[in-house]
Amino acid sequence: MSNSLEMNKIFAAVLTAGVTFGVAGLVARLVVHPSAPQQAAIQVGEPAAAQAAAAPAAPALEPITPLLAAANVQNGQQLAQRQCASCHSLNEGGRNGVGPNLYGIVGAKHAHSEGFAYSAAIRGMASKPWTYEELNAWIANPRAYAPGNKMTYAGMASAQSRADLLAYLRSISPNAPAP
């Protein structure tokens, strides 16, 4: 009987020592390495950041039509002058240049300009009209929209800028449908 009481005391002492040691160790780690939890947080965050960086491989393009109502036609015209006019004329009856004339493009069929030598990629879509969403996708990333096309334009990243540009293209497209 007294023997087992003795054992219990020893057991309790060992337990107490263990708990004390553990708490002391925790305190020591916090004091010695106060930044340890932060490092852990950064490490946890890294895979998420890597996923975010990989995400643009499959971008989901937001619909552009909700942005058209408040779009800025003047800004769109400036964007067209700066980023498109070097290859595209924009006036009615304008000549084809490096790219086809863009007057009336909204609502027109793909490969709409007679006499322009389109790539097979764009000619292959000739039965489809250029809707606002199609133009949005094309301007955002021509290569992704029509692989193998010959428009060497990297793409316009800002949705607001694309909305402004589309509002301008609409203004030079007498047969454009309402957005």
Q: Are 92 and 103 in contact (CB under 8 A)?
A: yes
User: What residues have CB less than 8 Å from 140, skipping those under 6 apart?
Assistant: 61, 155, 156, 157, 162
- By beta-carbon proximity to ligand HEC, the closer residue of 88 and 170 is 88
Residue 105, Ramachandran bin (φ over 0: left; ψ between -120 and 50: alpha; else beta): alpha
64: Cβ contacts below 8 Å, ≥ 6 apart: 132, 133, 136, 159, 162, 163, 166
Nearer to ligand HEC, 37 or 111 (CB): 111
Interface residues with ligand HEC (CB under 6 A) are: 83-84, 86-88, 98-100, 102, 105, 110-113, 118-119, 121-122, 130, 135, 138-139, 149-153, 156, 165
- Residue carrying the six token digits 């709409």: 112
Q: Is 155 left (phi over 0), alpha (psi -120 to 50) or beta?
A: left
End-to-end CA separation in angstroms for the chain: 92
